[in-house]
Amino acid sequence: MNGTRKICVITGANKGIGYEAALTLGLMGWEVVLACRSFARGNQAVMALNSIFRQTDPGGKNQGLAVFMELDLASLASIDNFVVGFKKRYHSCDALICNAGQMGGPYAQTLDGFERQVGVNYLGHVALFARLYPFLKSSPDARVVQVTSRAHERAALAEGEFPRIARQPKDTYNPWKAYAQSKLLQVLFTLKAQEVYGSDALRFYAVHPGVVATDLLLSPLPGLAKTILRPLARVFTAVGLLQTPKQGSDAITHPVLASPPPLGGTYWAEGSPREPNPLARSKTLQDDVWNHTWNLLEASRIQAP
């Protein structure tokens, strides 16, 4: 660890917009921690990034560094293990980009019994934030970015409903409803976390990176459909109907790099602050989800900071 580098943790950074975000920050001299499930793909991404960093700054005066650390957001035990390893290497964290996610697909549960989209996209990232909070507080200017989606704008969520959807059974599961709700939960968390923890030294953002041509976009589709649509995605990107991973990553790194920092507790889409789903502004819903979130996590020994 170079003591002069800023430190950023990026979940799901072995490919797509997470990888591009790591590249952008590393080229600016940051140390980027790629927090990924796959040991092989994570290390492959780290080797590729560090090769680029060495080539672009051969003197090493402002050379970035990529580091792989294993993390499975579908396991609270894995999150604990990640932070144990992080503590051995680092004393602070300047940015946390919550980028990894699940989109659609068949019903599945996390290792802790949560519906997988809510468990990975929302609860896993909240648990990671809670564990990294002391490191974020040790930075003079920390920023937390939740990578959300405009799908949250169409989501519905009633007070008292969150515990049920967090552990909903297969027979009530709707993949796209669950995805949209998980993204609304990320925005609700961002606004409430800014109120509870926000300061001039810690700010929270929720960012829709655009409709980006990544594997996540095709992941809910069966194999043949992926094979057919993958070339079309490249065409749509070329003509501007889809964004490139680099364009998506610029959206999520902007709140991290902007100086002066943008107003915390805000939702961004297409590079500009936007009004979120009106439900995200509901103080009663924020409080309801906030309290139920920590109740669920505290049952697994993840305490609110």
Any idea what the CATH number is for the domain that residue 56 is in? 3.40.50.720
How many Å is the Cα radius of gyration of the chain? 18
Q: Is residue 237 part of a domain?
A: no
3-state secondary structure of 209: coil
Give the relative orientation of helices 283-298 and 175-197 as an angle to the nearest 10 degrees: 100
Angle, CA 110 vertex, CA 109 and CA 111 arms, to 5°: 120
Q: Is residue 305 part of a domain?
A: no
The structure tokens listed for 28 are 């600016």
In the chain, the N- to C-terminal Cα span, in Å, equals 26
Q: Is residue 278 part of a domain?
A: yes
Q: Is residue 236 part of a domain?
A: no
Q: Is residue 288 part of a domain?
A: yes
pTM for this entry: 0.90
**Percent of residues in the chain assigned helix, strand, coil, to nearest 5:** 50, 15, 35
Please state whether the peptide bond connecting residue 222 to the residue before it is cis, i.e. omega within 30 degrees of 0: no
Backbone angles phi, psi at 2, to 5 degrees: -90, 120
Catalytic residues: 179
DSSP lists the bridge partners of residue 98 as 146
Q: Is residue 63 part of a domain?
A: yes
Q: What local confidence, expressed as pLDDT, does residue 224 receive?
A: 42
Q: Is 38 exposed, middle or buried (0-12, 13-18, 19+ CB in 10 A)?
A: middle
Q: Is residue 71 part of a domain?
A: yes
Ranges in the chain, pLDDT < 50: 213-219, 221-241
Q: Which residue has the tokens 């889809």?
A: 242
pLDDT tens-digit series, residues 51-96: 999 998 777 778 999 999 999 999 999 999 999 999 999 999 999 9
Give me the domain span that covers residue 288.
Answer: 7-213+247-298
Q: What local confidence, expressed as pLDDT, does residue 242 receive?
A: 54
CA distances from 197 to 53, 60, 189, 203, 304 (A): 34, 36, 11, 8, 11
Q: What local confidence, expressed as pLDDT, does residue 207 receive?
A: 97
pLDDT tens-digit series, residues 208-235: 997 654 444 444 544 444 344 444 334 3
Q: What does pLDDT average to over the chain?
A: 90
Q: What local confidence, expressed as pLDDT, does residue 234 receive?
A: 43
Q: Is residue 69 part of a domain?
A: yes
Domain count, the chain: 1
Backbone angles phi, psi at 7, to 5 degrees: -115, 130
